[in-house]
Amino acid sequence: MKMRIVLICALVLCIGVSVFSTVAFFTAEDTARNVITAGSLDIEVIEEQKNEAGEIVPYPEEAIQVLPGVTVSKIVSVKNKDADAYIRIKLEVAVKDAEGNALDVDGAVLTVSSNEMWQAREEDDGWLYYNGSVKTGEITLPVIDGVEFLPEMGDEFQGAVAEINVIAQAVQTANNGEDVFKAQGWPEEK
């Protein structure tokens, strides 16, 4: 009888092992590695000017000497070097006297533009927005064409240095509003 019990146990054990090994043969396991890369944006501010011959040339590195009543050619646009983007620009005009003290530029220095593609928001936030999508490789129309030094400039501007700082920002157009004014995700100001 013991032999029978041992034989039955051995038989049950063999059946169990064969069932589990059959199940093992019909299962499989695999691992998938998914890599998702976010897009990127890359823009470049382009500063040029017209020379005496009327040709467009890169804006010079050295300072330009001016007198009141003169308009200096300064053509500023933005090149989109990556994914389609909305672009905005802020122009900061700073003038320092000969000793390096800041001067009030109201009524002295103006940026000149003949282009209506750059617009301010209704609730003016200090930025000019390019009213359209800028495709990869495209260059915007100029935001300014020149800088005008008004004839009313007083003696305090003698020996002064004017700087026009151009700050440009871009956000993606994909899934980001119907136009530049509804776009979100603009970088925070520093």
Query: What percent of the chain has a predicted confidence (pLDDT) above 90?
Result: 36
Question: Do the beta carbons of residue 57 and residue 49 sit within 8 Å?
Answer: yes
Q: Is residue 79 very low, low, confident or very high in pLDDT (cuts 50, 70, 90)?
A: very high
CB burial class (10 A; 0-12, 13-18, 19+) of residue 89? buried
- What is residue 134's predicted lDDT score, i.e. its pLDDT? 95
The average pLDDT across 14-43 equals 60
The one-character DSSP state at 104 is: -
The answer to whether residue 104 scores a pLDDT higher than 70 is yes
What predicted TM-score, i.e. pTM, was given to this entire model? 0.75
Q: What average pLDDT is seen over the chain?
A: 82
The average pLDDT across 25-46 equals 67
What digits encode the pLDDT tens for the residues 162-172? 888 899 999 99
Q: Is residue 24 very low, low, confident or very high in pLDDT (cuts 50, 70, 90)?
A: very low
Question: Do the beta carbons of residue 44 and residue 78 sit within 8 Å?
Answer: yes
- CATH for 43-172 is 2.60.40
Torsion of CA 56, 62, 65, 66, to 10 degrees: 50
Q: What are the residue ranges spanned by the domains of the chain? A: 43-172
What digits encode the pLDDT tens for the residues 123-161? 889 999 999 999 999 999 999 999 888 888 888 888 888
- Comparing CA positions, the residue from 178, 180, 176, 57 lying closest to residue 121 is 180
- What is residue 58's predicted lDDT score, i.e. its pLDDT? 93
| Position with higher pLDDT, 39 vs 86 | 86
Q: How many angstroms separate the CA atoms of 4 and 11, rounded? A: 10
